[in-house]
Structure 1
Amino acid sequence: MNKPLDPALQAGNHKPLAGYQAQHFLWEVKDGVGTITLNRPERKNPLTFDSYAELRDLFHNLKWATDVKTVVVTGAGGNFCSGGDVHEIIGPLIDLKAPELLMFTRMTGELVKMMRVCPQPIIAAIDGVCAGAGAIIAMSSDMRLGTARSKTAFLFNRVGLAGCDMGACAMLPRIIGQGRASELLYTGRSLGGEEGERWGFFNRLSEPEALLADAHKLAADLTAGPSFANGITKTMLHQEWAMTIEQAIEAEAQAQAICMLTEDYGRAYHAFVAKQKPVFQGN
């Protein structure tokens, strides 16, 4: 029998988020799946300074949230996210000096960092408009479900900015390839849903009315799996971008040895012997 976790250690490293009350988007946790809904449908769910910061902080805190195993990100009203709000972000940025502009761009980049280092797999459910920072949030997720009518655009070039925003030049080529990423980042054109699936940006397409249910079904499947091991998989997928093959093989050897110490590994073996489906508990 396992010894109970030291209360002091638990207090500093367990932060349940099921009861978190979001201020600038919707947040709900059900059966271990946390759902973020960008909820300004009248403007196609644009981001503000406040929502950027709150999203950053939520993904940061997910590192300690043992009651959340998987995250779904979606948008209300038939669109995912139209990017930074023209009136609440784009306009004010014109009048800022370099230190404040760098503060903003570092904040937006920190959101991507927190999405990549939180241990929970993130599934983006993308319908309709997915542009600018919305496309970056989709890109930064671990998996993407789309619809045929979705339109994804890394449109920074179209507003006089470089395509190298929030990690796009590093991450997008790894998802769809260098040439295709270059086309999207140089032109800012929209990537349709069916083309996005062919290019590998979307894992698969759903009908609009089934999109969120399909995303939650995938999230539930992941949540029912070995969540500790899934977190290790996400960590290695992210960290191995900067490793040689030799370094990656050694890192994976160490990671897999750690997973072999988990009780979930033993549960899987005993279930196999008994010809049953394992019931994972994330430890």
Structure 2
Amino acid sequence: MEFETLRFELEGELGILAFNRPERANAVNSVMLEELNSFWRDMQTRDDCRVLILTGEGEKGFCSGLDLKEAADPSGGFMREGISGTSMWKGQRRFSGLIELMRACPQPVIAAVNGAAMGAGFSFAMAADVRLAAPGARFCASYINIGLGGADVGSSYLLWRIVGWGRAAELLLTGKVVGAEEAYRMGLVNEVCPAEQLMPRAREIAGLMLEKSPLGLRLTKDALNAALNCLSLPDALRVEDRNQVLLMENLLIAGGMISSSPPPAQRGGAE
């Protein structure tokens, strides 16, 4: 896949996607927006890539959000359909739809946050399954700082599920910047790694995931998504039960669960 504003590499079954506008702290311009939509739509049906790492090129940022310079330019790409309620709605949906695509893709996504994750960049990090941060990483729901609502690009849905209601309300209502260590303390990131160890650690976690069965990995993310989407406990248990039966059947067909030893119940032992 060839892109102008992204870099994608496939290392075996591990895909690495990097925001690639380091001169603009990897801000999202109109070209990147379309390329991200294309990339995440493609990932929905790809079997050759089983795990994804998401990061940013350069030292300035993971993704600093919307490219405000282009957004303010009447002749820029964001304004190509003119200024109207309809055109603004379409543009907004191109952004927010990325979060749906990220969560729907079957590949677990590891965000390796190497710098500023602001606005939409913050939302992209939240939409990942696992978040690692370098010491210089910073997070900010900056939408409210530019005169918009603090809840944007999935932040009102994802953030409180990650850090709790009170913390999420504070971040969305104040637009405060959170450093890597504070992000770790509140549970926003899984680990803080030295900058030079960020990608090796992301690859290490990805490697552990790749050791698992392809179907098991996909169905686990599927179950996490179902629970994330407000299932009741009984509903979550039904999804888990369905997945486990499908996987056990798959193993039996492949011969992976056939053993010469009788099961515990036949030996008179308790489970």
Q: TM-score, normalised by structure 2?
A: 0.87
1:157 and 1:187 in contact (8 A); partners too: yes
Q: CA deviation at 1:270?
A: 6.7
2:64 and 2:118 in contact (8 A); partners too: yes
User: Which structure has the larger Rg?
Assistant: 2
Runs of 4+ in 1 over 4 A off after TM superposition: 90-95, 264-271
Q: CA deviation at 1:89?
A: 2.6
Asked whether 1:152 is paired with 2:123, we answer no
Aligned-pair Cα RMSD in Å: 2.0
Cα distance change, pair 251–44 in 1 and its aligned pair in 2 (3 A) = same
Query: Paired residue for 2:67?
Result: 85
Cα distance change, pair 207–160 in 1 and its aligned pair in 2 (3 A) = same
Query: Paired residue for 1:35?
Result: 16
Q: CA deviation at 1:263?
A: 3.6
Query: Paired residue for 1:58?
Result: 39
Q: Report 1:240-251 matches (<5 A).
A: 240=227, 241-251=229-239
Q: CA deviation at 1:227?
A: 2.2
Distance 1:178 1:57 in 2: 33
Distance 1:197 1:265 in 2: 43
1:84 and 1:90 in contact (8 A); partners too: no
Asked whether 1:234 is paired with 2:215, we answer no
Q: CA deviation at 1:265?
A: 9.1
1:45 and 1:75 in contact (8 A); partners too: yes
SS of the residue aligned with 2:221? Answer: helix
2:252 and 2:258 in contact (8 A); partners too: no
Query: Paired residue for 2:119?
Result: 132
Asked whether 1:182 is paired with 2:169, we answer yes
Q: TM-score, normalised by structure 1?
A: 0.84
The number of residue pairs the alignment matches comes to 253
Asked whether 1:213 is paired with 2:200, we answer yes
- Residue from 83, 86, 92 that aligns with 1:99: 86
User: Aligned partner of 2:64: which letter?
Assistant: S
Distance 2:91 2:237 in 1: 37
User: Aligned partner of 1:195: which letter?
Assistant: E
The worse-fitting range, judged by mean Cα deviation, of 83-92 and 72-81 is: 83-92
Q: CA deviation at 1:264?
A: 8.9
Distance 2:191 2:24 in 1: 26
User: Aligned partner of 1:206: which letter?
Assistant: C
SS of the residue aligned with 1:109? Answer: helix
SS of the residue aligned with 2:150? Answer: coil
Q: Gaps (5+ residues) in structure 1?
A: 1-19, 274-283
